[in-house]
Amino acid sequence: MLPIDLYQGIESAWCPGCGNFGMLKAFKHALAELEIRPEAFVVVSGIGQSGKFPHYLKCNTFNGIHGRTLPVATGVRLTNHELKVVAVAGDGDCYGEGGNHLLAALRRNPDLTLVVHNNQVYALTKGQASPTSDQGYKTLLQPHGVAYPPLHALALAVAQDCSWVGRGFAGKIEHLTGLYKQALTHKGFALLEVLQPCVTFNKINTYQWYQQRVYDVEKEPGYDPENELWAYQKAKEWGERIPIGVIYRNPRPTLEEMQPVLKAGPLARQQPERPVRELLSDFF
Ligand SMILES: Cc1ncc(C[n+]2csc(CCOP(=O)(O)OP(=O)(O)O)c2C)c(N)n1
Ligand code: SF4
């Protein structure tokens, strides 16, 4: 195991008690336990409180624009698939603004880990409802409550043959560390959604709210993450009981394996047949 302080970044600006702290701690533990050195991975993020995640870590990082985490992360992977790539996004960033990129990634199966910080609000822009806000949830912008039911993103992922789907809770750090480790070592697209309380703007889905509802799905009788129908039902379960743990595992060829040009090694290490300047001149 590597020392945790190897990953120490700058001091954070998150509110005291924010669920992002538990996620950061669990992520560092997972890296240390897997002995992944800071130079061996890159964290790509978008915009939001979640987007600040890599700032508080020592690692390679790319801070993209809102909703565009996945295309950037996929580009990094295709350029250098020797790097471990982690994409970090908020529920608004990934399921709202970047929803189409999620669909593309589910189809393509790039070998990267996507972590969705699901606090059921747009936190950076002060608490508007997001695609995962519960129906009836009131905000300053939705004073009569959200009119429609939330998006079941994990069910969407299962239905679209995602190769690994899991959910954790920022209030259960040891359990979450195990999930990060599994997602980071899975070959193919791994979607890990983490229930992340926002103590400032979400006064409904609090630590206590989640604590009363989350249960370890892996300890349930009939646990069967290779069974698509079982996984779909679990991914849709939301209310009095909310499953956490690995929900779906579906090994399938990755995007990188399906690209003949990558067989000769990472693009970053390949010599182009013609100099890049000359190639570009064909287009101008
Ligand atoms: C293209 C674009 N649209 C909208 C915004 C404004 N904006 C910045 S952060 C944000 C919401 C972030 O919410 P979420 O992704 O859930 O992350 P959180 O802050 O809750 O972690 C929005 C709408 C933006 N910066 N860029
Ligand atoms: S506003 Fe919410 S998500 Fe943002 S740092 Fe504060 S508690 Fe965390």
Quick: pLDDT tens for 74-97: 999 999 999 999 999 999 999 999
Ligand 2 centroid–CA 57 distance in Å is: 18
Ligand 2 centroid–CA 118 distance in Å is: 11
Ligand 1 neighbours by CB, cut-off 6 Å = 47-50, 66, 90-93, 97, 117, 119, 121-125, 130
Ligand 1 centroid–CA 50 distance in Å is: 9
Ligand 2 neighbours by CB, cut-off 6 Å = 14-15, 18, 20, 49, 119, 123, 198-201
Nearest atom in ligand 2 to the alpha carbon of residue 19 is: 8
> Measuring CA to CA, which residue among 115, 120, 92 is closest to residue 197?
120
Q: Phi, psi at residue 213, to the nearest 5°?
A: -115, -35
Atom 26 (ligand 1) nearest CA: 66
Indicate which ligand has the atom closest to the C-alpha of 130: 1
Indicate which ligand has the atom closest to the C-alpha of 198: 2
pTM for this structure? 0.96
Ligand 1 centroid–CA 67 distance in Å is: 8
Nearest atom in ligand 2 to the alpha carbon of residue 124 is: 4
Ligand 2 centroid–CA 179 distance in Å is: 23
Ligand 2 centroid–CA 217 distance in Å is: 28
Atom 3 (ligand 2) nearest CA: 198
Separation of alpha carbons 155 and 157, rounded Å? 5
Nearest atom in ligand 2 to the alpha carbon of residue 17 is: 7
pLDDT tens sequence for the chain (284 residues): 999 999 999 999 999 999 999 999 999 999 999 999 999 999 999 999 999 999 999 999 999 999 999 999 999 999 999 999 999 999 999 999 999 999 999 999 999 999 999 999 999 999 999 999 999 999 999 999 999 999 999 999 999 999 999 999 999 999 999 999 999 999 999 999 999 999 999 999 999 999 999 999 999 999 999 999 999 999 999 999 999 999 999 999 999 999 998 888 888 888 888 888 898 899 98
Ligand 2 centroid–CA 27 distance in Å is: 18
